[in-house]
Structure 1
Amino acid sequence: MLFVEADGVVVWDRASGIDRIDSLVAGRAHDPRLLRAPFFSVRTPHAWDPVDGWKPAGAVQRDGRASARRLRVLTWNTLWDRYNSDRIQTARRRPLLLAALAEADADVIALQEVEAGLLDLVLRARWVRDVYVLGTDPGGRDVRDSSLLLLSRLPVREAAVHALGPHKAVAAITVETAAGPLVVANTHLTSDHSVNGAAKRQIELARLAEVLAAVDGDVVLVGDFNDGDSGPDGPAGVLGLRDAWTEARGAGDGTPTFDPTANPLAAISSLSGRPARLDRILLRTPQARVIKARLTGDAPGPQGLYASDHYGVLADLALD
């Protein structure tokens, strides 16, 4: 036997000498998983070790903020280099994006359209290595397959993934807060660039509803929903979730997170040319009160370049 893992945490490892079987509650019956089969496949959270690099988070000590009664969540579609690579200045944008992510000072960061180059920058960033835990093994296939990445500076109890279809998934972690465990799920639904994109999104939303119904606990669902509708026909209405932006700023505030009229990068990729609020932070938790919500990356850098074609969305939650 080489190692023993419980609930995504390494509790015994022959090579490193780790033996935490008596000191951890991972895998014990009184602490059941929230992200369970058959909907979720277990993943191992990873954290940076100055000696051994990225390792299973259970083997790396972290000063988590589980006692904090406020939670800041950030979601951001980072614009991959897959299309129009000659027009979107990826090499110049990525440092702007990393700087904005660091400045956001978020407890949980959810990114979409993450490619190998951006993942490498994130993994090498000192501010990430010092305090954040990743929701998967950065050397595995998850980010490559789904382009989703979750980072948390709160203690991560478990991590998992659910496939929605080819290259579409839900990446999720359970973080420890002062109000108890909280599931944060990250997703990116099909865009209108795909054939029958709207119909595919409806199928994905229905699947999301089924997946979330199987989670016995509070949930924050974030990501790029590629759907600008509000009310009962929007993602929040279909899923029966609260929209953090609407609660903070009112139902009449439709501030776009994707704006081809203002952001040249969005103009390149837009099919309709219409601004829309595609990126959301949705809540299924009676204990969370929305304090405020705002955009980040909605202004260009010194040379007129935006960090992405989407703006990031930040929400501050009070855990009452």
Structure 2
Amino acid sequence: MKAPPPPPRPWTEGPAYAWTGDGWGASASLAPGAARAGRLRVLTFNMLFDLYDAPRVRLGERLPAISAMLQAADADLIALQEVTPNVVEALGAWPWVRAGYRMSEGPEALGVRPYGQLWLSRLPVERVARLTLPRSKAATAVRVNVGGVPLQAISVHLSSDLHADGPRIRQEQLRVLLRSVREPFGGVSLLAGDFNFGDEESPEALHQSGFVDLWPALRPGDAGLSFDPSRNPLAAGIGPHVTARRLDRVMLRATSGRVRPRSAALVGEGMIPGADPPIQPSDHFGLLVELGMIGG
């Protein structure tokens, strides 16, 4: 007989944080604004940390441009990857974040040491949770309510092909994650982040999960290359072995017809004005998706 799959791993829960006026506090009574009625905008963006090769990646120079790009996207949920404690400090100082968003990390940045994922949410956050994945990776989830529709959003950053067996590792990471994802009753789940594989790879665990990849669903025939060394010097600087691929994705699973995908677009493609030599906000472009929401 085939051995049964291992049980789901437990999620570790923690608070969300909102600006109190004199610091970031973990208080459920602190509520920023709400999403516009009938829609939800979700942005995922790999920020490119400076843990390695700091002079080349120029994070300090890029942060103001990242702030401007994220603010202009007008997203209700923002999934950030390669977040480090110094980035948490920077995010917490940006006026637009203080005024309108919660963070899934507090000032101590315990969940992003040495690096990890972080959510910014314009909606009040009902739950923050983290799941440990194989090979020192993790998933970070927030649960919100969008016009009566319960929604959990999960940010991931899967292992890259710097590992010789990258596809196998990603498949196992996805298996562990998807065994542990359960929709809130009548609700919706989103997976967003840097999946570190392109359209040449088709993980079985993902196909069996019921999640819909929104870029090809909304823009069939458009390659959607969010990582493109031919257009991005930071991506090209990694080395001659890297190729253009659609690494960044937003995926949707809904148990009812209360969500309608509307649009998807890449953001952060332009060079930072005045940067010398030319540089973009990151080695990845961001992915912005808009969903139509039918309230409960």
Q: TM-score, normalised by structure 1?
A: 0.82
CA contact (8 A) 1:236 1:282 kept: no
Return the match for 1:220 from 163, 180, 190. 190
Task: Give the corresponding residue for 1:41.
Answer: 12
Return the match for 1:299 from 260, 270, 276. 270
Task: Give the corresponding residue for 1:290.
Answer: 261
CA-CA distance at 1:142 after TM superposition: 0.4
One-letter amino acid matched to 2:172: I
CA contact (8 A) 1:170 1:186 kept: yes
CA contact (8 A) 1:227 1:234 kept: no
Return the match for 2:156 from 166, 187, 191. 187
- Say whether residues 1:319 and 2:293 are aligned partners: yes
Return the match for 1:243 from 206, 213, 217. 213
List aligned pairs for 1:47-62, cutoff 5 A. Answer: 47-51=18-22, 53-60=23-30, 62=31
Over 3 Å counting, the alpha-carbon distance change for 1:313 and 1:148 in structure 2 is same
Return the match for 2:134 from 162, 165, 172. 165
Return the match for 2:249 from 261, 268, 280. 280
Q: Which has the larger radius of gyration?
A: 1
How far does the alpha carbon of each residue in 1:249-268 deviate from its partner, in whole angstroms, 9 at most, with x for none?
A: 12x22120000111010011
C-alpha distance in 2, partners of 1:254/1:270? 22
CA-CA distance at 1:39 after TM superposition: 2.2
Return the match for 1:310 from 277, 284, 292. 284
One-letter amino acid matched to 1:280: R
Task: Give the corresponding residue for 2:103.
Answer: 134
% same residue: 36
CA-CA distance at 1:181 after TM superposition: 1.1
CA contact (8 A) 1:236 1:242 kept: no
One-letter amino acid matched to 1:287: R
CA-CA distance at 1:271 after TM superposition: 5.7
CA-CA distance at 1:236 after TM superposition: 4.9
CA contact (8 A) 1:132 1:152 kept: yes
C-alpha distance in 1, partners of 2:9/2:206? 24
CA contact (8 A) 2:35 2:122 kept: no
List aligned pairs for 1:243-262, cutoff 5 A. Answer: 243-250=213-220, 252-262=221-231
Over 3 Å counting, the alpha-carbon distance change for 1:170 and 1:226 in structure 2 is same
One-letter amino acid matched to 1:120: E
CA contact (8 A) 2:175 2:205 kept: no
One-letter amino acid matched to 1:101: L
Aligned CA RMSD, in angstroms, stands at 2.1
Structure 1 residue runs without a partner (length 5+): 1-36
CA-CA distance at 1:141 after TM superposition: 1.1
One-letter amino acid matched to 2:27: A
Question: How many residues get paired?
Answer: 281
CA-CA distance at 1:232 after TM superposition: 5.1
CA-CA distance at 1:229 after TM superposition: 2.1
C-alpha distance in 1, partners of 2:104/2:291? 21
CA contact (8 A) 1:298 1:306 kept: yes
C-alpha distance in 1, partners of 2:65/2:117? 19
Structure 2 residue runs without a partner (length 5+): 1-7
CA-CA distance at 1:157 after TM superposition: 1.0
C-alpha distance in 1, partners of 2:78/2:225? 20
C-alpha distance in 2, partners of 1:238/1:85? 40
Shifted more, 37-46 versus 285-294: the winner is 37-46
How far does the alpha carbon of each residue in 1:259-312 deviate from its partner, in whole angstroms, 9 at most, with x for none?
A: 011101001125633210000000002421111100111121223310100000
